[in-house]
Amino acid sequence: MTDDATPSWQHLLDLVAQLDSGSYDSASVTYGDVSVQLSRSGPLTAPAPVPSRASTTPATTSPEPSGTIIASPMIGVFYRCPSPGAPPFVELGASVGADTTIGIVEVMKMMNPVSAGVNGTLTSFLVKDHEQVEYGQALAVVAEASSQ
Amino acid sequence: MIEKGNANSGAPPVVLVANRGEIAVRIIAAARRIGASPVLAASTADADSPAARLADRVIVIGPASAAQSYLRPELIATAALQAGASVVHPGYGFLSEQPELAELLEIENIAFAGPRPETLRAVGDKSSARKVAVAAGVPVAPAVEVDDVEAVAGLGDSIGYPLLIKAVFGGGGRGIRLVNDAGDLARLAPQAAAEALAAFGNGALYLERFYPAARHVEVQVFGDGEGRAQIFGDRDCSVQRRHQKLIEECPAPGLSAATRAVMHDASRALVQALAYRGAGTVEFLVDTQSEAVVFLEVNARIQVEHPVTEEAYGIDLVAAQLRLALGGDPELPDVPPVPSATVLELRINAEDPENDFRPSPGTISRVRWPSGPGIRVDTQLEDGYRFPPFYDSLMAKLIVRAHSRNAAVAAARSAAATVEIEGVTTTLALHEFVLSHPDFIRGGVTTSWFGPTWEHRSEQRMESVR
Supply the pLDDT for residue A126: 97
C-alpha B353/C-alpha B339 separation (Å) is 33
In a shared domain, residues A113 and A134 = yes
What residues of chain A lie within 8 A of the CB of B62, using their CB?
Answer: 74-75, 135
> What is the mean predicted confidence (pLDDT) over B214-219?
98
A55 in a structural domain: yes
In a shared domain, residues A11 and A63 = no
In a shared domain, residues A29 and A68 = no
In a shared domain, residues A126 and A75 = yes
Supply the pLDDT for residue B131: 93
Instruction: Please tell me the distance in Å from A52's CA to the nearest CA on chain B.
Output: 7
Please write the tens of the pLDDT for every residue from B141-172: 999 999 999 999 999 999 999 999 988 887 66
Residue A107 contacts B where some CB pair is shorter than 8 Å: yes
- Which one of B44, B77, B82 has the shortest CB-CB distance to A132? B82
Beta strand B37-43 with B57-62: parallel, antiparallel or unpaired? parallel
In a shared domain, residues A89 and A127 = yes
CATH number, domain at A65?
Answer: 2.40.50.100
Q: Cβ of B74 and A53 within 8 Å?
A: no
CB–CB of B19/B93 below 8 Å?
A: yes
In a shared domain, residues A118 and A74 = yes
- Which one of A48, A53, A108 has the shortest CB-CB distance to B58? A53
Please write the tens of the pLDDT for every residue from A9-33: 667 667 666 666 665 556 666 665 6
What residues of chain B lie within 8 A of the CB of A110, using their CB?
Answer: 74
Please write the tens of the pLDDT for every residue from B400-452: 999 999 999 999 999 999 999 999 999 999 999 999 999 999 999 999 999 99
In a shared domain, residues A54 and A22 = no
Please write the tens of the pLDDT for every residue from B275-331: 999 999 999 999 999 889 999 999 999 999 999 999 999 999 999 999 999 999 999
What residues of chain B lie within 8 A of the CB of A53, using their CB?
Answer: 58
A44 in a structural domain: no
- Please check the confidence at residue A5 and state whether its pLDDT lies above 80: no
Phi–psi pair at B97, nearest 5 degrees: -115, 20
Which residue of chain A is at minimal alpha-carbon distance from B75? A75
CB–CB of B123/B298 below 8 Å?
A: yes
Based on C-alpha coordinates, what's the Rg of chain B?
A: 23
Please write the tens of the pLDDT for every residue from A80-127: 999 888 999 999 999 999 999 999 999 988 899 999 999 999 999 999
Amino acid at B77: A
Helices (H), B201-329: 257-274, 306-313, 317-325
Instruction: Please tell me the distance in Å from A147's CA to the nearest CA on chain B.
Output: 31
In a shared domain, residues A114 and A55 = yes
Instruction: Please tell me the distance in Å from B346's CA to the nearest CA on chain A.
Output: 34
CB–CB of B345/B248 below 8 Å?
A: yes
- DSSP symbols for B354-402: GGTTEE--EE--EEE---STTEEEEE---TT-EE-SSS--EEEEEEEEE
Amino acid at B154: G
> Any residues with CB less than 8 A from the CB of A36 and at least 6 apart, and which?
A12, A15, A16, A28, A29, A30, A109, A111
In a shared domain, residues A73 and A129 = yes
A22 in a structural domain: yes
B301 annotated active-site: yes
Helices (H), A56-134: none
A131 in a structural domain: yes
Sign of CA dihedral B402, B407, B412, B418: negative
Q: Cβ of B62 and A76 within 8 Å?
A: no
Environment class of A40 (CB within 10 Å of its CB; exposed 0-12, middle 13-18, buried 19+): middle
CB–CB of A112/A105 below 8 Å?
A: yes
How many domains, chain A? 2
Q: Which of residues 383-442 of B touch A (CB under 8 A)?
A: none
Instruction: Please tell me the distance in Å from B320's CA to the nearest CA on chain A.
Output: 29
In a shared domain, residues A75 and A10 = no
Range of the domain at A35: 3-39
Supply the pLDDT for residue A14: 72
Residue B53 contacts A where some CB pair is shorter than 8 Å: no
What are A141's strand-pairing partners? A69, A124
Residue A51 contacts B where some CB pair is shorter than 8 Å: yes
Which residue of chain A is at minimal alpha-carbon distance from B57? A53
In a shared domain, residues A101 and A126 = yes
Q: Cβ of A49 and B82 within 8 Å?
A: no
> What is the mean predicted confidence (pLDDT) over B170-182?
81
Residue B47 contacts A where some CB pair is shorter than 8 Å: yes
Instruction: Please tell me the distance in Å from A50's CA to the nearest CA on chain B.
Output: 8
> Any residues with CB less than 8 A from the CB of A3 and at least 6 apart, and which?
none
Q: Which of B26, B177, B301, B323 is catalytic?
A: B301
In a shared domain, residues A67 and A105 = yes
Please write the tens of the pLDDT for every residue from A116-146: 999 999 999 999 999 999 999 999 999 998 7
- DSSP symbols for B44-61: GGGTTSHHHHHSSEEEEE
CB–CB of B343/B312 below 8 Å?
A: yes
Environment class of B28 (CB within 10 Å of its CB; exposed 0-12, middle 13-18, buried 19+): buried
Supply the pLDDT for residue A22: 61
HSE toward the beta carbon, residue B246, CA cutoff 13 A? 29
